[in-house]
Amino acid sequence: MKISLKEIKAKTGIGFGTSGVRAKVEELTDNVCYSYSKGFLQYLFNEGLIEKGESVAIAGDYRKSTPRIMEAVARAVKDMEMSIVNCGFVPSPAISYYGNKKGMASIMVTGSHIPDDRNGIKYNLKDREILKSDEAGITGAEIELDESLFDGDGYFISKERVLPEAISEAREIYKERYLNFFPEGFLRGRKIGLYQHSAVGREVIAEILESLGAEVVSIDKSEVFVPVDTEVISEELRDKGREWSKEYGLDCIISTDGDSDRPLLADEKGEWLRADTLGIWVGKFLGIEGMVAPVSCNTALEKSKFFKKVVRTKIGSPYVLGAMMEMEKEALIVGGYEANGGFLLQSKIVKEGKELEALKTRDALIVPLAIIGLAKREGKSIEELAEELPKRFTQSDSVKGFPTEKALEIISRLSEGGFEEQKKKIEEITMMKFGEVIGINTIDGLRVTFESDRVVHFRPSMNAPEFRNYVEAESVEEATKLASISNEMIRSWM
């Protein structure tokens, strides 16, 4: 039978968003994963972006549910008369970059940083990740769905495996991206801690660091999936960072989230750097002229005055990428980053005759490498680099279990009307705890600037039932305090 993805969403409640498809594992049945993957490929056919018989690359992260979902994706590829390339377990940017180099669409099975009881599927075109403009075409695509393939619970009746043996080519091409750009011995003399946990990039990142000359100390490898959110670093992880640095005598500590597209970086003392400022240093090292970042990122971006042009967007890499593509038309060297630290590169970078090719999706590894490079170039420690940025400190937190619809309704109500009406409602609901409102930005959620130059940004998560808050203040202590107060307010709205 013919069915559209809109109809599948209506039946299952599982939608398609900025990160592709995400849901609880039990909701991501074979039927759902197969249907959405067919819908993505059908959209590419409709737009003339692929042809029958071409190859599609598939990879995944280390969640328990990933192998089963990869198999469902592979069946969709096969039934769309396409060839399957199994790239195994590699970072999200590695599979995207592989697709770029080979001229093929790619599909990554990952839930990113969210817990193991959830998973997702991220889709990439041949040259980039999907944009918001692609979403309507994907969700509107009609597919041929044979329901006899599935049992009553939505799982394949046949246990036939169609996913071929994994190849290592995507991993090797990803390594070459860095080894061809950074000079031989770039990290010689550096002792780097690699917090491995369950990150899918832990092995390939270690190989790259060692190939560049670093002594790598692998720390806390886990066979059980660990959800690491680079925007919200726990006190436990902060303490561990300091302990590891002291115990092993490290020059820095590097880590990523589950699919290794969002970075974590700690300085010489084991202090984790704020993710939403990392892209500023990366941009400075690479010579970026036009920088794009979501509205939630630290305003040190503008205050640093490192870039010719800065553009702010809604939260989500598709928005960042869309703005980057527009900015490149102005003949600027263009990059972008998100509050989670992931860096996107629109323009090819050439330094001393070596090239770093564009990668139009989030990448984690370029971040610590570029920051180490900047520290070396300026003869400073990573800690000293951090001290040079304008004194704007951010903290983010969230109230979990907050119904998304209710959160959206609150934001919509507060955003209605002109500035004076919005100001009055916000000051009432915040009980003037932050002072007088002087600026309001409703591009994504509700971002409020107060007379103290402090910022509070309320935003419902679109991936999980969470109401997030991002705050910015003149000190770490004040930012932490504001985040706690903001969480108390959000709880009072439940």
Cβ atoms of 479 and 276 within 8 Å: the answer is no
Please say which residue of 167, 189, 206 terminates a domain: 167
How confident is the model at residue 465, as a pLDDT?
85
Residues 332, 276 share a domain: yes
Q: Dihedral sign, CA of 353, 359, 365, 371?
A: positive
Residues of the chain with pLDDT under 50: none
**Other beta carbons less than 10 A from residue 168's beta carbon:** 12
What digits encode the pLDDT tens for the residues 403-450? 999 999 999 999 999 999 999 999 988 878 889 999 999 999 999 999
**Is 127 in the same domain as 199?**
no
**Would residue 112 show up in a list of annotated catalytic residues for this protein?**
yes
Q: What is the pTM of this model?
A: 0.91
Of the candidates 326, 355, 388, which is a domain's last residue? Answer: 388
- Cα–Cα dist 368/347, whole Å: 19
Cα–Cα nearest to 230, from 185, 188, 199: 199
Here the CATH number for the domain that contains residue 253 is: 3.40.120.10
Q: Which residues contact 234 (CB under 8 A, 6 or more apart)?
A: none
| pLDDT of 10 | 87
Q: Are residues 191 and 244 in the same domain?
A: yes
Question: Residue 148: what pLDDT?
Answer: 95
Q: Which of 35, 65, 96, 112 is catalytic?
A: 112
Residue 75 three-state SS? helix
Based on the fold, state whether residues 151 and 93 are members of the same structural domain. yes
**Pair 205, 319 in one domain:** yes
In a domain, 120, yes or no: yes
pLDDT at 70: 98
Give pLDDT, residue 16: 78
Query: What is the amino acid identity at position 6?
Result: K
- Which is nearest to 288 in space by CA: 232, 249, 345? 345
- Counting the structural domains of the chain, the total is 3
368 with 488, same domain? no
Say what the pLDDT of residue 432 is: 83
Tell how strand 2-4 and strand 142-144 pair up: antiparallel
pLDDT of 222 = 96
Last-in-domain residue among 388, 415, 437: 388
What whole-number distance in Å separates Cα of residue 48 and Cα of residue 345?
Answer: 25
Q: Which domain holds residue 441?
A: 393-492
228 in any annotated domain: yes
Give all strands (DSSP E) within 198-269, no chain letters.
215-221, 252-256, 263-266
Task: Answer whether residue 273 is part of any domain.
Answer: yes
Which among 116, 40, 43 has a CA at the least distance from the CA of 72?
40
